Structure 1
Amino acid sequence: MLVCPECQSKNPTQNKYCQKCGTSLTVRDCEECGGPVGWEEQICPHCGASMVKPLLALIIPKTPAVESENVELAQGEETEIPEVAALDPNQRYHIYSDSALSPSPHYGEGYSVQVWDSQPLAESYLSSQLSATATLDPNAVLTDSSESQEEGLQQAGVPAMAIPYQLLKDRFCPIIPRLYDAWETPEKTVVLLEDRQNYAGLTQCWEDPDIPLLQVLSWLDELAQLWQNLASLGYCQSLLEASNLRVDEDRVLCLQQLYPDDPEHQPELSALGQLWQRFFSQTGRTLYGPLADLLGGLMEGKITVVDDVRSRLREFARQQEAPDEEENNPEPDPSDEVEEQEMSAGAHEEKMNYPMEGEDVPTIVLPMQLLSLTASGLTHVGGRDHNEDTFGIETLIHSTENPLGKTLQAKGIYIVCDGMGGHAAGEVASAMAVESLQYYFREHWTDPTVLPDEETIRQAILTANEKIYTVNLENSRSGSGRMGTTLVMVLVQDRNVAIAHVGDSRVYQITRKQGIEQLTRDHEVGQREILRGVDPEDAYARPDAFQLTQALGPRENDFVKPDVLFLEVHEDTVFLLCSDGVSDGDLLEKHYEDYLTPLISSRANLEEGLYDLVRFANIENGHDNITGVVVRVKLRPNLDGTPIM
């Protein structure tokens, strides 16, 4: 089977085009030169650009690996491979010609090497196994119990070495790498992972003088938190190999792979303290005071509980943030510490890691500030003969820099409107709304350091409504003949956000920690009935369930009641504003991990990502106009007043 790269539907291997969306299954466009390139090609024949992403192959021989591969490996050495070789029976995965075999610790004679996929559209061996098992017994793999799920994976024929990645992929994303494929032959077991060898090593970041001590403390806290979770799963050894600890471009702690613990010699918490001590020694960072006492207590076995480690780390972090306060209160009451954590959002201090199941201990917090504010918009006619959607984007950035550092102030206005009223009417209403709102805020949002208040935002929306309503009256439009538009609007001022909407266009917030969250409630009959206490199934059984209860333009201001929401950004975030052509059919809830979560990364191109989403929505929801605006808010630690060690 061939999996379509656009709509993810499965096609017979002989198909040249996707039977659902028509996407070519034989060629793709080169991202560098735009020329056609076969899906099986590694290099673009037109410009020489690489067309593949490296994968990390973990290879565990069942017979002596070195002999079966005709390659001699000495411990600690890397040996060049003389020629490109395939790893699987179907000759799908190939070793890079310039790659090298590296011994893989904790797997006996196992080793790792970079490979590439010559059949990227073909269903993976792993996916085929899981699909076959799920077809026979839907509960064999997808269960609530980890033990049952592991048993189901074993029954599906998934190699034992791959099972931990499959079990932990949701709970520990993005800390552990994505499992790409896995299979077994009589000679070896092969597991293919997302390759993170290009990520910066933790020690490399540790020794960077521009990284504040508070960030280092946050990494220590994350490692302790991971230890607590991985201990019960038998993978603490993954945290004790310095080369296995990586940091992505957003300073998120990541693992290159998982290492199983020796069941006869389970690692103790003191080993983690020894690793931390080595990091400080190798990087030259000063180790003193309570932090030195903590590491000493860990290495000597005096501190054996993770919660104690994290509690001391948080106390030391608090001292770094408020040294004067510490002098006046050297032994703070524990209840004060809890209260301080609960108030951290109001004090502009944010969490720097991801929650784990069963996690009760507060996380070290860091003061944060805006790093970047970027946005992109796109609209498509979809299945209609004309486009009544409109969007607007305005972003103002003010950057200041001096020897003490760089600060960024930004404000942005982002709007999506879905017009209604027929040809040459809906598009007029939506365009009028965008233009009116942009003009209003240019006149009334004069202080770039403060968001407009709720009354100002409501007045802006009512002003837009009045203009459209007046045109309807002047043109003697009445009833359903009146033009109108929905509205969703996001105002951003640094880390502060205001959201306003009228109608059924939506705003979603996407973060790594919380996933996707719909921030607006549709103004339609079905939702109105639910708010009145009607059962959702009964509410949407009405023939008029999806009829709008509010819009801009058809009625005078007394009938327009915008919803306004204020929030503060606590971590790197993507906001999506969209018309219902994108959100229909729960498309975003089902597919946000593929199309929206990747856009949180600084490496992701917003325009390309939004283009992919709109194309996919056109395939799935092609009955309507399709419009989206993505806004990415990136944060970084606020270094003002933070000691650099």
Structure 2
Amino acid sequence: DTDPLQPSLSPDVATQSDSAPQQYVQAVKSQDGDMGPGKKRPMSDDPTIVLPMQLHTLSHVGLTSNGIQRDHNEDFFVTETHMSNVETPSDRRCSAKGLYILCDGMGGHSAGEVASALAAETIQIYFKKHWSEQLPDEAAIREGIILSNQVIYERNQADHSEGFRRMGTTLVMLLVQDTKVAIAHVGDSRIYRFTRRQGLEQLTLDHEVGQREITRGVDPSVAYARPDAQQLTQALGPRDQDFIRPDINFWEMNEDSLFILGSDGLTDNDLLETYCHSHIEPLISGNANLDEGADNLVDLANQVNGHDNITVILVRVKLRPKLSLIGR
């Protein structure tokens, strides 16, 4: 009855929690014409004019599937988008905020589906009280995650659950406020971003033993040869808040972006990287149907993976120049 998280929750893992996105964004493909994967257009000596941008549209879709080998679903997701039009004497603009949460109940643990729902719904309720006009800061986001962990942890304690009987869940979350974005995660559920300039980028690093060893300088082939390589180093619920170190990062968008949140049933075996050109890139267009895109991704994941529950959230952000500021 050993706790499966015990071997990998070492103190030095906590030092990885506040790294900036640029430190671990993994550019896996670039779709700049026919320059080829991973290559960028050469720099030009021509002067570059950077136009201030504002939100034009924010849209989303979420979809989940048991997978072809599972008889129940331990994934859970929440999607909320709120949009309004703001008029000023000089401009009329769109304002929006969106909350997108995906949780994957821990495989092999009882009531994983309960843990994932508890986490997502607790955070959703928390932000109804702690998110008004401005994007929540790091402390507020961290507080919401710690609260969700505590709710599951207390349920485990009340049920006297031990070892593999303790329920838990991963978490990946996207918050959008106009052109500002925050992401947070615990565990191995991922978030990717696709843009026309950068292609597909993985924005999160899995909280698992293999990835921990790589950050310590171990060769990837050695790190993932370990029998416990895919064991989680963090999850919500099995342990108290002292063991939770969510990665939280912020930035401002300056181009159209497609965010993909996925459980490991979707992201395993480099599925998104391999099929980016056919299944991801077309969805950046405002004319593309996100519902069909999500259907196609889940169908593909069932064909290529299928071993686990599959959940995807697609969030498309379209921007336009902030013309009211030009010429001032």
Q: Which category describes the TM-score, using the shorter chain as reference length?
A: 0.7 to 0.9
> Equivalent residue for 2:215?
531
Is residue 375–residue 630 contact of structure 1 (8 Å, CA) maintained in 2?
Answer: yes
The counterpart of 2:227, out of the listed 540, 543, 565, is: 543
> Equivalent residue for 1:208?
none
The residue type equivalent to 1:416 in the other structure is L
CA drift at 1:360: 4.7
Q: Secondary structure at the match of 1:171?
A: coil
**Structure with the bigger percentage of strand:** 2
Is residue 52–residue 325 contact of structure 2 (8 Å, CA) maintained in 1?
Answer: no
Is residue 451–residue 491 contact of structure 1 (8 Å, CA) maintained in 2?
Answer: yes
CA drift at 1:598: 0.8
Is residue 70–residue 307 contact of structure 2 (8 Å, CA) maintained in 1?
Answer: yes
Determine the C-alpha separation between the residues in 2 that align with 1:368 and 1:609. 26
Q: Secondary structure at the match of 2:266?
A: helix
Is residue 172–residue 356 contact of structure 1 (8 Å, CA) maintained in 2?
Answer: no
The residue type equivalent to 1:569 in the other structure is M
CA drift at 1:362: 4.5
Is residue 109–residue 165 contact of structure 2 (8 Å, CA) maintained in 1?
Answer: no
> Equivalent residue for 2:259?
575
The counterpart of 2:115, out of the listed 411, 429, 434, is: 429
Q: Structure 2 vs 1, CA of residues 423 and 549 (structure 1 numbering), >3 Å: closer, same or farther?
A: closer
The residue type equivalent to 2:71 in the other structure is D
**Superposed counterparts of 1:211-230, under 5 Å:** none
The residue type equivalent to 1:609 in the other structure is G
Gaps in structure 1 of 5+ consecutive residues: 1-167, 174-354
1:467 aligns with 2:151: yes
> Equivalent residue for 1:378?
63
The residue type equivalent to 1:367 in the other structure is P
Q: Secondary structure at the match of 1:575?
A: strand
CA drift at 1:594: 1.0
Determine the C-alpha separation between the residues in 1 that align with 2:92 and 2:284. 22
Determine the C-alpha separation between the residues in 2 that align with 1:172 and 1:420. 38
Determine the C-alpha separation between the residues in 2 that align with 1:358 and 1:405. 34
Determine the C-alpha separation between the residues in 2 that align with 1:502 and 1:405. 40
> Equivalent residue for 1:171?
35
TM-score by length of 1: 0.44
> Equivalent residue for 1:365?
50
> Equivalent residue for 2:236?
552
Is residue 386–residue 423 contact of structure 1 (8 Å, CA) maintained in 2?
Answer: no
Q: Secondary structure at the match of 2:227?
A: coil
CA drift at 1:363: 2.1
> Equivalent residue for 1:520?
204
Q: Structure 2 vs 1, CA of residues 362 and 627 (structure 1 numbering), >3 Å: closer, same or farther?
A: farther
CA drift at 1:570: 1.5
1:498 aligns with 2:182: yes
CA drift at 1:172: 9.3
Q: Structure 2 vs 1, CA of residues 559 and 402 (structure 1 numbering), >3 Å: closer, same or farther?
A: closer
Is residue 55–residue 319 contact of structure 2 (8 Å, CA) maintained in 1?
Answer: yes
Gaps in structure 2 of 5+ consecutive residues: 1-31
Q: Secondary structure at the match of 2:324?
A: coil
Q: Secondary structure at the match of 1:596?
A: helix
Determine the C-alpha separation between the residues in 2 that align with 1:626 and 1:398. 32
Is residue 483–residue 554 contact of structure 1 (8 Å, CA) maintained in 2?
Answer: yes
RMSD of Structure 2 on Structure 1 (CA): 2.1
**Residues 207-227 of structure 1: per-residue CA shift (max 9 Å, x gap):** xxxxxxxxxxxxxxxxxxxxx
The residue type equivalent to 1:581 in the other structure is G
1:420 aligns with 2:106: yes
CA drift at 1:381: 0.3
Determine the C-alpha separation between the residues in 2 that align with 1:406 and 1:486. 40
Greater relative CO, 1 or 2 (CA 8 Å, sep 6+): 2
Aligned length: 295
Determine the C-alpha separation between the residues in 2 that align with 1:570 and 1:480. 45
Q: Secondary structure at the match of 1:477?
A: coil
**Residues 465-495 of structure 1: per-residue CA shift (max 9 Å, x gap):** 0000000111111112100000000011111
The residue type equivalent to 2:118 in the other structure is M
Determine the C-alpha separation between the residues in 2 that align with 1:385 and 1:486. 20
The residue type equivalent to 2:34 in the other structure is D
Q: Structure 2 vs 1, CA of residues 458 and 589 (structure 1 numbering), >3 Å: closer, same or farther?
A: same
Q: Secondary structure at the match of 1:390?
A: strand
